[in-house]
Amino acid sequence: MSDIPLDIYSQPSDDISSNLNGSTIVEENVPLNTSIAAGLAINITPSAEFATVSVEKAVSKLNTDGTSGISSVEEVDRRRELHGTNEVNSDDDDDNNGKLGLLKRFLSGFIEDRLILLLIGSAIVSAILHNVGDAISITAAVIIVMLVGFIQEYKSEKSIEALNKLVPAMCHLVRFGRESHVLAATLVPGDIVVFRVGDRIPADLRIIDSVDLSLDESSLTGEPDPVHKSSDPVPENPTGIIPISDRHCIAFMGTLVKEGHGRGLVVATGKKTAFGSIFEMMSTVDKPKTPLQTAMDRLGKELSLFSFVVIGIICIIGIWQGRSWLDMFQISVSLAVAAIPEGLPIIVTVTLALGVLRMAKRKAIVRRLPSVETLGSVNVICTDKTGTLTANHMTVSKMWCLSSMSTKENILNVGSTTDLRNYLAYDVKRTLEIGSLCNNATFSVEHSKFLGNPTDIAILEELTKFGLIDERDNYIKMKEISFNSKRKFMAVGLKQEKHDDKETSLMCVKGAFEVILSRSTNYLTEDGKINKLTEKNRETIIECANHLASDGLRVLAFASRPCQGDDDFTKFSEDDIDDLTFTGLIGMRDPPRATVKPAIKKLLQGGVHIIMITGDSPNTAVSIAKQIGIPVVDQETSVLTGDKLKTMTNEQLANVINHVNIFARATPEDKLNIVQALKKRGDVVAMTGDGVNDAPALKLADIGISMGIIGTDVAKEASDMILTDDDFSTILTAVEEGKGIFNNIQNFLTFQLSTSIAALSMIALATAFNLPNPLNAMQILWINILMDGPPAQSLGVEPVDHEVMKKPPRSRSERILTMGVLGRILGTAFCIILGTVFICVKEMSTNGEMSARDTTMTFTCFVFFDMFNALACRHSTKSIFQIGIFSNTMFNLSVGLSLVAQLCVIYVPVLQHIFKTENLSAFDLLLLTCLGSTVFVVDELRKFIVNQYLTNYVEEENRYATMV
């Protein structure tokens, strides 16, 4: 079996790269060293070459412009022609091999498979013994077996390759003097790239300018701490070799911007990057397998050993009984080929890969195959509120100012009024002014809407209702402390343009009301005076803020302060934002997504604990939670705030977390503690995140989930799954698929193992009772194709049954072969053996030996049994009539084709010759169909009984639940 890329982002997963770290740096320098030694023209990598030259030199060397980039389309095309696309794992190599490569691979399959070699050997022996018919038959059968196996493996590789293309890397490119957001693959040397915090570096860049830039290079060097980078060239080194870790003015492809921002000149793309050269090496390293694949490999080995022992015994007894040793040898080897589920790992991989592609269509991109398995076991989901549970579309709903509205009864309902010019008391006006000044949203003429933070946009959109304008044009922004989830406020320092020769400077602040209030000492009155805030005033403000929040609104407070000249701007830091004048509160509505409520209901039914983690206030969070059906039993135990969380030890947290559904006023750092506490309890945790600070928690969670739209590259890189629509309900889809895929794997396992056991036991029985062999070598090989091939594979793509969510999450340690599955396997095998032996004995009783007709009947009987068995295996508990006979087209197609092929084997003369069969009558076929269907009927009965028992059980559970 071929390697399976577990990480489908175009970057190696951490575990792989860290294994290679030691050799990484050395490897890149090896050609360098040797070429120096040889005195040849130095084959130096571009990043090493450009590390020592100045920015100006680098720009002129690459014949480009440091600000506007490459100037013509022709030039870009020429460079792409020369350097190729910016991809490390392009398909070029594959195409070069073409058809010849495929043939070579097909043929090498014969040599690698020892059992097949044995079969070919036996064909040659047959030929030498003048048994040409047998020789041809075996050779033909072997070719068919290999062909089916080969096609399957080829398709599995193709579907895995498709996974690699699910998450294309993007970047901000400057070309022809314009900035645009493009696929990273389009970059050529000489391009200019802009990057900011959270981005992934798209190629090897010579940094042109940077602000506080630090990069996480762990994927390249294994160094866990971010590395500071700048545009200063590195001094030349006497040895001529500058290690990767010392190239401080180079930003390497695949590394992540942890802080700051900057611009860089593309010096190397694709395979010529430092990352590309490691990637080449890495693709030859065996990728680790998923737990399920490892389990399947183990199971395969165990089964092989078991089969070998049984076959060995059969073989010895047979020869001892004086049967033809060549016959015995052929049958034993075919039996070994059949009984060994060599198709099992391939089917598991294809099932996982196809499942991942299906999920991608449903907006969940799984980046690592093992995560598909883990998804079915998830029993806790920690989710952000804004944007994931809610639409992330804010509108100002209510407003309140202390002086002009005094109490919560007078809160101004902004949402329902269209003209608000009459409400413009001094404090109201000031609050809105601060809102527009302390704001980073911009109006895009191109899109004819505001772009930026939804909170900021909401304020700007409200101005016209009050007849106000955006005040930012009249001021110069001197300083800014940007908003982040930890700080929970934003502040700007502004200077008004000279007005009557007087210069006014001020500081405007907006943010969470607790934060603003604690930094305020005064408030603004409705006629423009500044008064001291009394304790009573503070209580009133808190009461009103809580009132707004209980309505599900996000509450922002606004404040300002005059500044004394430039002095205040030079020391404009987080700690200096105090002594503010409070002006008012604004409440914003961010409606829950419509799909969230039903999704939460289903997840809760499935025994999944849902925890909302939000930066908003407890009241807002509780109100939203109630709207979407997250249970909040009482606010004391169900809600924990970030402050309280910080005072708790991990043990304390682990003890109470069972009852907690909401973490409010939480910071990204809190998420890490929450995941730790949950994992300590043995939970399987899914956690969402989007920012740079969320990365550690995403990594630690069993399933880290990042947001496709608002998420940063850093978060995506750390995550196991990406929601391309940022929608919480997509998580349900993914969990459903995860559970469904696991069920499908169990189902085809049931099918394969029952067939295998039945075939093995029949030959064993026949040998033990000294009867002629009921199936010959070619027939056994044919059965192997059905069992390992298309019918089994099509069980893996059975559509997900939405009722899987009614079952609790699978425990992490649960084996794939549960007692229930084993029971089904043995029961089915028993049924098949009984029926086939019956036909065999009945046919043989007419003349006492195995004629062509007898073996045809027995063989066809087994195949019919097997096809009905496949039908029964489509679902473990539901009747085929419940899931719909036509709901799995691939299944019907492959079973249909198998049956047609079986008829060909019976009626087409050439095939009759190979398989030693002869024509059967219509009555024979009817009889065999009826007999074969018994395995299906019996299983339907079993399902009926199980369901009866299950519904009773569920009702019992429900009754119990309502009693409590």
- For ligand ATP, the binding residues (CB under 6 A) are 384-387, 453, 455-456, 483, 485, 488-490, 510-512, 554-556, 614-617
Binds 556: which of Ca ion, ligand ATP, none (CB < 5-8 Å by kind): ligand ATP
Binds 739: which of Ca ion, ligand ATP, none (CB < 5-8 Å by kind): none
Q: How far apart are the first and last CA of the chain?
A: 53
Q: What is the distance of C-alpha 166 from the center of its chain?
A: 10
State the minimum distance, in angstroms, from the CB of residue 690 to ligand ATP: 8
State the minimum distance, in angstroms, from the CB of residue 915 to Ca ion: 18
Per CB under 5 A, the list member of 788, 801, 843, 939 interacting with Ca ion is 788
Residue 155 burial by Cβ neighbours in a 10 Å radius (0-12, 13-18, 19+):
middle
CB within 8 Å of 42: residues ≥ 6 apart:
32, 35, 36, 240
Interaction pattern, residues 296-335, with Ca ion; x per rule: CB under 5 A: ----------------------------------------
State the minimum distance, in angstroms, from the CB of residue 756 to Ca ion: 7
Binds 456: which of ligand ATP, Ca ion, none (CB < 5-8 Å by kind): ligand ATP
Which amino acid is residue 273, in one-letter code?
Answer: T
739 vs 608: CA distance, rounded Å: 13
Q: Which is nearer to ligand ATP, 466 or 489 (CB)?
A: 489
State the minimum distance, in angstroms, from the CB of residue 406 to ligand ATP: 22
State the minimum distance, in angstroms, from the CB of residue 902 to Ca ion: 18
CB within 8 Å of 321: residues ≥ 6 apart:
767, 770
Q: Which is nearer to Ca ion, 8 or 338 (CB)?
A: 338
Binds 788: which of ligand ATP, Ca ion, none (CB < 5-8 Å by kind): Ca ion
Binds 490: which of Ca ion, ligand ATP, none (CB < 5-8 Å by kind): ligand ATP
419 vs 432: CA distance, rounded Å: 15
Q: Which is nearer to ligand ATP, 615 or 740 (CB)?
A: 615
Of 444-452, 644-652, 779-787, 816-824, the window that binds Ca ion (rule: CB under 5 A) is 779-787
Q: Which is nearer to ligand ATP, 80 or 486 (CB)?
A: 486
Q: Angle 274-282/14-38 helices, nearest 10 degrees?
A: 110
Contact 406, 412 (CB under 8 A): no
Q: Which is nearer to Ca ion, 26 or 309 (CB)?
A: 309
Contact 263, 67 (CB under 8 A): no
State the minimum distance, in angstroms, from the CB of residue 113 to ligand ATP: 54
Binds 483: which of Ca ion, ligand ATP, none (CB < 5-8 Å by kind): ligand ATP
Which amino acid is residue 400, in one-letter code?
Answer: W
Binds 784: which of Ca ion, ligand ATP, none (CB < 5-8 Å by kind): Ca ion
Nearest residue to the partner ligand ATP, using Cβ: 615
534 vs 505: CA distance, rounded Å: 27
**What are 531's strand-pairing partners?**
523
CB within 8 Å of 272: residues ≥ 6 apart:
45, 46, 83, 204
760 vs 737: CA distance, rounded Å: 34
Q: Which is nearer to ligand ATP, 387 or 552 (CB)?
A: 387
Contact 392, 710 (CB under 8 A): yes
State the minimum distance, in angstroms, from the CB of residue 704 to ligand ATP: 15
Catalytic residue, from 199, 204, 384, 616: name it: 384
**How many contiguous H segments (helices) and E segments (strands) does the chain have?**
36, 26
State the minimum distance, in angstroms, from the CB of residue 633 to ligand ATP: 21
**Which residue, among 47, 54, 273, 80, has the nearest Cα to 191 in the 3D structure?**
80
Of 9-17, 631-639, 784-792, 817-825, the window that binds Ca ion (rule: CB under 5 A) is 784-792
Q: Which is nearer to Ca ion, 300 or 452 (CB)?
A: 300
Binds 614: which of ligand ATP, Ca ion, none (CB < 5-8 Å by kind): ligand ATP
Contact 720, 366 (CB under 8 A): yes
Contact 626, 687 (CB under 8 A): no
Which amino acid is residue 330, in one-letter code?
Answer: Q
The answer to whether 784 contacts Ca ion (rule: CB under 5 A) is: yes
Residue 327 catalytic? no
Find the Cα–Cα–Cα–Cα dihedral 401, 405, 407, 413, rounded to 10°.
Answer: -80
DSSP state of 692: G
Q: What is the distance of C-alpha 554 from the center of its chain?
A: 31
Q: Which is nearer to ligand ATP, 292 or 612 (CB)?
A: 612
Given the rule CB under 5 A, which residues bind Ca ion?
338, 784, 788
Catalytic positions are 384
